[in-house]
């Protein structure tokens, strides 16, 4: 199994792809072809637990890792780190809808499923590479990736991690999680700008020649914990495969029954993992891509025109406040049947004019499998309130976007197939907005009093990782302009 690039042909092992993060021309690593599960393999996986299923999926892609290495990675990542025996349980919320709960990990968002595993995959890859370089993990975050990556990489030998977050673009709880992070190898910095500024800044630093030289002189090299790293995607494929197995096991589906997935989307990593799961033989009919008011993807799916030249909104689902969806590049690669020249041309147009239009053939393929929908904060709050009133089920502001768009999809199409809805964060991470959806009562000023109020109102429990932040000292106070990001990194790495 080898990996190639979205913008040019290369041929590398999975360990190389994971260790380097990004192709040197700025493209993303993608598998040369997709491994498929036989019906027998799927039958066996139904009887396995999450870790064994993860080993199965990983072993199909990471053919240069030994079975023992994969097992060590998986067990290190998922044994004892989640609040639940199964890291990604399903919850039946009625009307043929299942919540795929991805927030039972140490930072209460779905990023944990990949970022608890990535440090193991990466350090194993570095050992194989054998040049003894220290990996510097650069992260741009819209809120959840940052903390999840910090939690995964803190004090991991042979690594340093630097996280940039938009100063006004994350929730209070997300910010608190990051600025209190302990660890000898961690740096956290706010930037004056939005997530796209942080992400493009990180991408530029990645491919900057002077920076590369600086790192080499210190025997270091960059890697990425953002979803541009293939090592982030495989662990996400696992939970779609695992959810399918769970639905076969509990009788929600019979072998061969198709279902739809609904994913609250920003950078397009999570939904792309579902596409990869389908490529491996999981019978997903439709990918329902749910956006908030930053609905660049809804327009793209409906018209074939990707246009980031539009107003950027700060919403109550901040982890989806993104106008440049970097993993879409991997979908373009698939839609064009692996035409890297074409993808490179679209990406150049995006860089130069902020806009590109795919051809009619690609658009037809896109629309045969994808539905794009969006909803604003008010509709999101409506979805939270309805779901709690009707089903006594509490969801966060991101998941709410998916719930609202899932209902729109059914109304518009009459497609009654089972909907697997990715529930991407704990409601407690976004307590003020969730409370606003549930009650008119005035909110207390203190962040932890808000958590207590949500617990009391809903009869649910404050997740321990959030409750435990109380009293943690603020360790990271830097805030820089986008132009100063490289300087910040140099300062932290000497």
- Which residues form the interface with ligand PLP (CB under 6 A)? 109, 111, 144, 227, 264-270, 319-320, 398, 424-425
Please state the closest distance from residue 460 (CB atom) to ligand PLP, in A. Answer: 17
Residue 219 falls in which region: left (phi positive, over 0), alpha (psi -120 to 50) or beta: left
Nearer to ligand PLP, 151 or 319 (CB): 319
Distance CA 446, CA 427 (A): 17
The β-bridge partners of 376 are none
Residue whose structure tokens are 């045969």: 368
Nearer to ligand PLP, 294 or 340 (CB): 294
Nearer to ligand PLP, 221 or 265 (CB): 265
Please state the closest distance from residue 138 (CB atom) to ligand PLP, in A. Answer: 17
Cα distance from N-terminal residue to C-terminal residue, the chain: 38
Distance CA 13, CA 29 (A): 10
Nearer to ligand PLP, 173 or 435 (CB): 173
Please state the closest distance from residue 311 (CB atom) to ligand PLP, in A. Answer: 20
Kindly give the pairing relationship between strand 284-291 and strand 159-166. unpaired
Closest CA to 82 of 60, 97, 101, 104: 104
Residue 286 phi, psi (nearest 5): -125, 145
Residue 177 and residue 467 in contact, taking contact as beta carbons nearer than 8 Å? no
Nearer to ligand PLP, 223 or 423 (CB): 423
Closest CA to 41 of 280, 252, 286: 280
Nearer to ligand PLP, 14 or 292 (CB): 292
Please state the closest distance from residue 276 (CB atom) to ligand PLP, in A. Answer: 13
Nearer to ligand PLP, 275 or 335 (CB): 275
Please state the closest distance from residue 268 (CB atom) to ligand PLP, in A. Answer: 5
Q: How far is CA 365 from the centre of its chain?
A: 24
**Residue 459 exposed, middle or buried by CB count within 10 Å (0-12, 13-18, 19+):** exposed
Distance CA 447, CA 238 (A): 34
Residue 139 phi, psi (nearest 5): -130, 130
Please state the closest distance from residue 409 (CB atom) to ligand PLP, in A. Answer: 17
Q: Which of 56, 60, 79, 111 is catalytic?
A: 111
- Residue 249 a catalytic site member: no
Please state the closest distance from residue 174 (CB atom) to ligand PLP, in A. Answer: 9
What is the rounded (10 degree) CA torsion for 142, 148, 152, 153?
A: 30
Closest CA to 160 of 141, 188, 179: 188
Structure tokens at 310: 């539009």
Q: Which residues are catalytic?
A: 111
């Amino acid at each position: 199994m080898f990996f190639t690039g979205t913008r040019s042909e290369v041929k590398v092992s999975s360990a190389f792809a994971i260790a380097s993060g990004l192709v040197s021309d700025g493209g993303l690593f993608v598998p040369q072809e997709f491994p498929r599960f036989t019906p027998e393999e799927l039958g066996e996986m139904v009887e396995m637990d999450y870790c064994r299923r993860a080993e199965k999926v990983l072993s199909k892609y990471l053919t240069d890792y030994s079975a023992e290495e994969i097992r060590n990675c998986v067990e290190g990542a998922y044994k004892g780190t989640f609040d639940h025996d199964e890291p990604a349980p399903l919850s039946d919320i009625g009307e043929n809808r299942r919540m795929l709960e991805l927030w039972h990990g140490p930072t209460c968002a779905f990023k944990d499923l990949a970022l608890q595993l990535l440090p193991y995959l990466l350090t194993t890859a570095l050992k194989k590479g054998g040049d003894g370089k220290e990996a510097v993990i650069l992260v741009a975050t819209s809120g959840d990736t940052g903390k999840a990556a910090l939690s995964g990489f803190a004090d991991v030998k042979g690594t340093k991690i630097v996280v940039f977050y938009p100063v006004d673009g994350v929730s209070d709880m997300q910010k608190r999680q990051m600025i209190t992070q302990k660890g000898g190898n961690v740096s956290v910095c706010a930037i004056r700008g939005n997530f796209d500024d942080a992400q493009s800044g990180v991408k530029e630093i990645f491919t900057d020649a002077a920076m590369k030289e600086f790192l080499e002189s210190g025997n270091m090299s960059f890697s990425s914990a953002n979803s541009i790293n293939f090592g982030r995607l495989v662990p996400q494929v696992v939970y779609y495969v695992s959810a399918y197995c769970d639905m076969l096991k509990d009788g929600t589906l019979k072998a061969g029954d198709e279902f739809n997935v609904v994913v609250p989307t920003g950078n397009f990593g999570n939904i792309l993992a579902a596409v990869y799961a389908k490529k491996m033989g999981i019978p997903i009919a439709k990918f329902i891509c749910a956006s908030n008011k930053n609905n660049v993807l809804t327009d793209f799916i409906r018209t074939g025109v990707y246009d980031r030249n539009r107003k950027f909104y700060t919403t109550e689902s901040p982890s989806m406040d993104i106008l440049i969806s970097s993993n879409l590049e991997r979908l373009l690669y698939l839609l064009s049947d692996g035409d890297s020249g074409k993808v490179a041309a679209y990406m150049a147009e995006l860089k130069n004019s902020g806009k590109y239009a795919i051809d009619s053939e690609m658009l037809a393929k896109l629309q045969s499998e994808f539905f794009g929908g969006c909803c604003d904060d008010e509709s999101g709050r409506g979805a939270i309130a309805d779901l709690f009133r009707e089903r006594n089920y509490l969801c966060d502001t991101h998941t709410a976007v998916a719930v609202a768009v899932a209902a729109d999809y059914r109304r518009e199409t009459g497609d009654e197939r089972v909907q697997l809805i990715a529930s991407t964060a704990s409601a407690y991470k976004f307590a003020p907005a969730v409370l606003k959806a549930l009650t008119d009562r005035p909110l207390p000023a203190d962040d932890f009093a808000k958590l207590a109020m949500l617990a009391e109102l809903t009869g649910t429990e404050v997740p321990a990782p959030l409750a435990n932040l109380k009293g943690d000292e603020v360790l990271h106070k830097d805030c820089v302009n986008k132009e100063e990001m490289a300087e910040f990194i140099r300062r932290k790495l000497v």
